[in-house]
Structure 1
Amino acid sequence: MQKSSVHIRLAATTLRGNAAAAAAQRNDAAPMALERVLRTLRLLADDPDGLTLSQLKEQLGAPKTSVHSLLQGLTAAGYVQRHDSLYRLGVQSFVLGAALVAARSLAVIATPYLREACAQSGETVLLAVIDRPAGRLTYTQILESHKPVRYTVPVGTTRPLFASSAGRVLLAFQDDAWCREYLKTADLRALTDRTVTDRRELMKIIELIRASGHAATIGEVTPDVAGFAAPVFEPDGQVNAAVIIAAPIERGRAAAQRLASIVIQSATQLSQALGCREARTPTLPMNGKR
């Protein structure tokens, strides 16, 4: 009888051990399964034409049966759709993506990139958004330089599009007809004695910005300020915002190439963070001037 009790206790201990091991295995498997789901969706997002089961199996490094089961579940939930042998993102993936983007404002996403640009440049960094009906831009976010002499302006300040580096960048990447209509009808009143107000000359400047992807102004909005700007591309290719580095004019002139390079990098990284995978990297002129 005593021997049987020992066997029972041993059996119970073994069962508890097996149950604990199984639970631990399930706990380990859960993060792996979630990671595989996210990797699958990312792979399909990177290849909108679709991928086959075999291609997904190779890229995930997982058994074919496991990948097939995963795809069946995602397809049933609407996150993946199948057409013949190809798997693509489904409607629910786009719904989720839109909800995630809506939950994070441009300012929240932009902050680390603006902060990095401010640290690298040592100058004031701004984010501007276009106001099409008014034909102006508005500074929505500003990180000021820590230098005693620096560019400073309140959040909410507006500028005409034709005169500033950011305004010209925003103009350059709007619909061509809209841009031409703006230049045709806008009040091109000079802000300083350096402001370009000739409509044909401005159109030439806009074309150069389209080609190079960035803009610079020296004393055209404020007499003692230089500005460098680059466009922020959204997932659909639209440009509604621009990143700007603004500096006292002499520092801006002396570091034009470096400041232009930093603002380009910042705007490109922000575009990618917003989900624009084809944001083209602008090129710098060899002498750093426009």
Structure 2
Amino acid sequence: MTRQASSAPLAAEGPERDNTGPRSLTRLLGLFDVLSLTQNGMSLAELSATLASPKSSLLNLLRPLVAEGYLIHADGSYRIGPSIIRLSASVMSAWNFPKMIRPFMEELVERTGETVLLGVLNKEAEAVAFVELVNSPHPVRLQVPVGTVRPLYASPTGWLLLAYADKGFRDPYMASVQFKLKMPAGIARASITREMAKIRTEGVCSSIDTPIAGVGSVIAPVFDGNGECIASLTVAGPADRFRKDMDLLRATVKEVAARASGIVGAAQPGPK
């Protein structure tokens, strides 16, 4: 859409009319900020009102962001897209938190021989993002690139993060989630709800051949000093190796994740 020369708000923007410069960058950051706070997205009119920015200016920002996958435009609304989730995961990987957890991940690799991943919950995308990993030394191992995202319903790691998420997010999600990926027989809302209850009781999640055939995994939560689950440690690899030592794997992952939680809690600033 072309800018209207007669529009007073547009004229007031002056040199920023080509969508470059500090003001446009501030608008871009503000755009991601407001969209990160809504699960259902916002229309162009809502964004214009919230950001106090002309629609034509916003469209010049929105169109390339949609084209590159940073935003999704559907049903008249704009939502956070997969590219910004991957970018967020990359930023997370440079954050101190993964560095703090990495020694525990390396310990798990040494003790289990399997690949270890650090996962975080992205509520806006309703997904789990893997922000750090340490690969198994085995030639046959699970390969998951840093920045990979999976829908919460389609991953045992997602089930665990959902189990410890606040009810204000978890209950609406479970009531409205649509299984857009083809899932194995038996995996539905009811089965995931039962699994979440089991996870909260046992403090660990384990799976073999579910939801991906040939893959085994064990996942435990990492808590901050306030008792909130801020991440997960996932040990994953070929299912045959997990069948042999599942009880030991569950105990090991749970124990290491508990020690990681203690370090995170001790490092957390402010009142506990």
Category of TM-score, reference length = shorter chain: 0.5 to 0.7
Query: Which AA in structure 1 matches 2:208?
Result: I
1:39 maps to which residue?
Answer: none
Tell me if the contact between 1:192 and 1:223 (Cα under 8 Å) persists in the aligned partners. no
2-structure distance, mates of 1:189, 1:108:
34
Task: Decide whether the 8 Å contact of 2:131 with 2:146 is kept in 1.
Answer: yes
TM-score (norm 1): 0.57
What secondary structure does 2:120 align onto?
Answer: strand
Q: Relative to structure 1, is the Cα distance of residues 191 and 127 closer, same or farther in structure 2, using a 3 angstrom cutoff?
A: farther
Q: How does 1:123-134 map onto structure 2 within 5 Å? A: 123-134=114-125
State the Cα RMSD in Å: 2.0
Pairs within 5 Å for 1:51-66? none
Structure 1 segment 192-271 matched on structure 2, within 5 A: 192-193=183-184, 196-197=187-188, 199-271=189-261
**TM-score for the superposition, normalised by structure 2:** 0.60
The counterpart of 2:157, out of the listed 143, 166, 180, is 166
Distance 1:158 1:226 in 2: 18
Aligned pair count?
174
1:106 corresponds in structure 2 to: 97
Shift of 1:195: 6.1
What does the per-residue CA deviation read over 1:88-127, in whole Å, with 9 as the maximum and x for residues that have no partner? xxxxxxxxxxxxxxx9711111011000000000000110
CA distance in structure 2 between the partners assigned to 1:104 and 1:157 by the alignment: 17
Structure 2: 5+ residue runs without aligned partners?
Answer: 1-93, 268-272
- Which protein is bigger by CA-based radius of gyration? 1
SS in 2 for 1:196: coil
- Do the aligned partners of residues 141 and 195 (structure 1) sit closer, same or farther apart at CA in structure 2, a change above 3 Å counting? farther
The answer to whether the 8 Å contact 1:228/1:263 transfers is yes
Aligned-partner SS, 1:137: strand
> Distance between the aligned counterparts of 2:142 and 2:95, measured in 1?
28
Letter in 2 for 1:162: Y
In the alignment, structure 1 segments of 5+ residues that lack a partner are 1-102, 278-290
Q: Which amino acid aligns with 1:217?
A: S
Equivalent-residue separation in structure 1 for 2:207 and 2:181 (angstroms): 14
1:184 paired with 2:175, answer: yes
Maintained 8 Å contact 1:216/1:227: yes
